[in-house]
Amino acid sequence: MQDLGILLEGRNLERLLYGLWVTLRISFASIAASIICGIIFGVIMTLRNRVLQAVCRIYLELVRVLPQLVLLFLAYFGLTRAFNINLSGETSAVLVFVVWGTAEMGDLVRSALISIPRHQYDSGYALGLSKADVYMSIILPQTVRRLIPLAINLATRMIKTTSLVVLIGVVEMLKVGQQIIEANRYTAPRAALWIYGAIFALYFLACFPMSLIAGRLERRWT
C-alpha cells in the first residue's frame, strides 16, 4: 500500500494528469473533426454515383487495412522523408486519427442512413413535405438516434488508441505512467500495480461521462 505514495511523490500526480490532458486534447480534436467529416463522408457514400462510391470504398478499405501505428509512422516520419513536411507529433496524431475516424464514422453514418426504411421517405412525401423537410424532421432524427451508440463506441476506441502516439514521440498518460513505474523500478518494484490502477481509473473517468451523456440523449429522443 505504501507504494501508492509514489503517485503523490514530487510532481507525479500532476504529470499523470497532464498526460491525461494530452490524451484528451488529441482525442477530442480528432473526435470532433471526425464526426463532422464523417457525416459528410457518410452522406457522399450513399449517393448513387459509381465513381464517387469507388473512391470512397478505396479510401475506407485503405484506412481500415492499415494499422493505426503504420499510419502514425507514415504521417510523422513518412511525410518528412517523402515530401519534407515536418509535422509535430501531436499534429501528426490528430491528422491520422481524423483520417481514420472519418472513414469509420462515415461508414457508420452510411449504414445508419440506409437502415431507415424506404417507406419513411415515402410517407413523408405523401404528407406533402418537401425533400428538405423529410430529411430534417424524419430521416435525420432517426439516423442520429441509431448513430449515437456506435459513435460513442468509436470515440472511446479513439481515446484508447491514443496510447500509440508515444511511438512518434508524444508523451501521453500511459507513457507518463510507465516513466513513473520505471523511475522507481529499484525502490518500489510493486508500484506498477498502483500506477496502472490509477491510469485505469483516469481512462474510466474520461470515457464514462460520454457513455452517460449518450445514454441520456438516447432516452430523451425515444
Residues within the interface to another protein (CB under 8 A): 6, 9-12, 15, 50, 53-54, 57-58, 61-62, 73-74, 77-78, 80-84, 86, 166-169, 171, 175, 178-186
What is the distance of C-alpha 47 from the center of its chain? Answer: 25
Closer by beta carbon to another protein, 93 or else 214:
93
Report the residue number, 70 or 212, with the smaller CB distance to another protein.
Answer: 70
- For residues 184 and 190, give the distance between their C-alpha atoms in angstroms, rounded to a whole number: 9
Cα(147)–Cα(150) distance, integer angstroms: 5
What is the closest distance, in whole angstroms, from the C-beta atom of residue 188 to another protein in the complex? 11
Distance separating alpha carbons of residues 155 and 100, to the nearest angstrom: 12
CB of 127 to another protein, least distance (A): 37
Place of cell 491520422: 96
As measured in angstroms, the least distance from the Cβ of 97 to another protein is: 17
**Residue 137 burial (10 A CB sphere; 0-12, 13-18, 19+):** exposed
The smaller minimum CB distance to another protein, of residues 153 and 179, is found at: 179
Asked if residue 80 lies in contact with residue 33, where contact means CB atoms within 8 angstroms, the answer is: no
3-class SS of residue 8? helix
| Among candidate residues 62, 70, 92, the one with its CA nearest the CA of residue 80 | 92
Nearest distance from C-beta of residue 54 to another protein, angstroms: 5
CB nearer to another protein: pick between 83 and 128:
83
- Least distance (Å) between residue 205 CB and another protein: 22
* Nearer of residues 28 and 59 to another protein, judged by Cβ: 59
